């Protein structure tokens, strides 16, 4: 499950709510060259790497996708996603819109969700509330302009007004998606095989 939003749109808090709500989900930790923010933890929020380490991973094909956002590199290690899938859980990726497109190209079965605050005023308040300096708010709003232009390419749109509701909506999307017939053909096949083995009366 890929969640994108303009900066301040709520990716981090929705992800955190989702992981608390439902044990089916696990965060696939990504790596970045940006400095650690206060309160962040290595390996929990990101793998913090140097530019050389990042470029080496990229060269060696260890990144599923990557992007440069606000002057820093970000990328999803293939390993992070595979280890979650191997546990039979749903990897949650909170990445930028370019990354979301790359993931969808590589994994067409990925589900993409675009989060939007109810209005621009709320987005600005939330960015300021997170402690972003005015110049950083301005940069993020400029980036948001191009980000919302690709919102229509996402599978789902969730309005992040009341946080618990937004989290529930994302979980509900996963509920429906996991019930898609094409994701459950093994069960249909198993039932068909049982029918095939049944002796006619
Ligand atoms: P992103 O990860 O997309 O940049 P965050 O998750 O950091 O966004 O959210 C930006 C700020 O807005 C944070 O301070 C967060 O606590 C706050 N926020 C996000 N969603 C809500 C919401 N539904 N209600 C109130 N505050 C919110
Ligand atoms: P921040 O620095 O605020 O944590 O993140 C900046 C932007 O980079 C956010 O939109 C975030 O979702 C995105 N991002 C984080 N990790 C990755 C990643 O691995 N790949 C891509 N494409 N974007 C990422």
Please state the rounded mean pLDDT for residues 47-56: 98
Read out DSSP for 59-113?
HTT-EEEEEEETTEEEEEEHHHHHHHHHTT-EEEEE--HHHHHHHHHH-TT--EE
pLDDT band for 200, please (50, 70, 90 cuts). confident
pLDDT digits (tens, 9 = 90+) for 84-95: 999 999 999 999
Please state the rounded mean pLDDT for residues 167-187: 96
Ligand nearest to the Cα of 102, by number: 2
What ligand 2 atom has the least distance to the C-alpha of 4? 12
Above 90 in pLDDT, residue 97? yes
Contacts of 10 (CB under 8 A, 6+ apart): 115, 117, 126, 160, 163, 166
Higher pLDDT, 160 or 38: 160
Structural domain harbouring 61: 2-197
Please state the rounded mean pLDDT for residues 159-167: 98
Please state the rounded mean pLDDT for residues 48-59: 98
Please state the rounded mean pLDDT for residues 116-134: 95
Distance 69 CA to ligand 2 centre (A): 7
Domain count for the chain: 1
Residue-level pLDDT at 37:
86
Q: Which of 74, 115, 147 to probe ligand 2 with, by most ligand atoms within 8 A of CB?
A: 74
pLDDT digits (tens, 9 = 90+) for 135-158: 999 999 999 999 999 999 999 999
pLDDT band for 201, please (50, 70, 90 cuts). confident
Distance 94 CA to ligand 2 centre (A): 7
Residue-level pLDDT at 143:
93
Above 90 in pLDDT, residue 171? yes
Distance 135 CA to ligand 2 centre (A): 19
CATH number assigned to the domain comprising residue 48: 3.40.50.300
pLDDT digits (tens, 9 = 90+) for 11-46: 999 999 999 999 999 999 999 999 998 889 999 999
Round the average pLDDT of the chain to a whole number and report it: 95
Using DSSP bridges, classify how beta strands 72-77 and 63-69 pair: parallel, antiparallel or unpaired. Answer: antiparallel
pLDDT band for 70, please (50, 70, 90 cuts). confident
Residue pair 39/188 in contact (Cβ under 8 Å)? The answer is: no
Contacts of 182 (CB under 8 A, 6+ apart): none
């Amino acid at each position: 499950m890929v969640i994108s939003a303009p900066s301040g749109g709520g990716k981090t808090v929705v992800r955190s709510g989702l992981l608390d709500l439902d044990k089916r989900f696990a965060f696939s930790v990504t790596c970045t060259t940006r400095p650690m923010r206060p309160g962040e933890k290595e390996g929990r929020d990101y793998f913090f790497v140097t530019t050389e380490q990042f470029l080496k991973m990229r060269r060696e094909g260890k990144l599923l996708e990557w992007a440069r956002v606000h002057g820093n590199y970000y990328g999803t290690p293939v390993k992070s996603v595979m280890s979650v899938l191997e546990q039979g859980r749903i990897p949650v990726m909170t990445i930028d819109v370019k990354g979301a497109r790359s993931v969808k190209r590589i994994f067409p079965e990925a589900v993409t969700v675009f989060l939007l605050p109810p209005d621009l005023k709320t987005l600005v308040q939330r960015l300021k509330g997170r402690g972003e300096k005015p110049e950083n708010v301005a940069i993020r709003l400029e980036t948001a302009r191009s980000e919302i232009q690709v919102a229509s390419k996402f599978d789902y749109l969730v309005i992040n007004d009341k946080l618990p509701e937004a989290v529930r909506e994302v979980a509900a999307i996963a509920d429906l998606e996991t019930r898609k017939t094409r994701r459950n053909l093994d069960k249909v096949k198993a039932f068909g095989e049982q029918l095939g083995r049944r002796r006619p009366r």
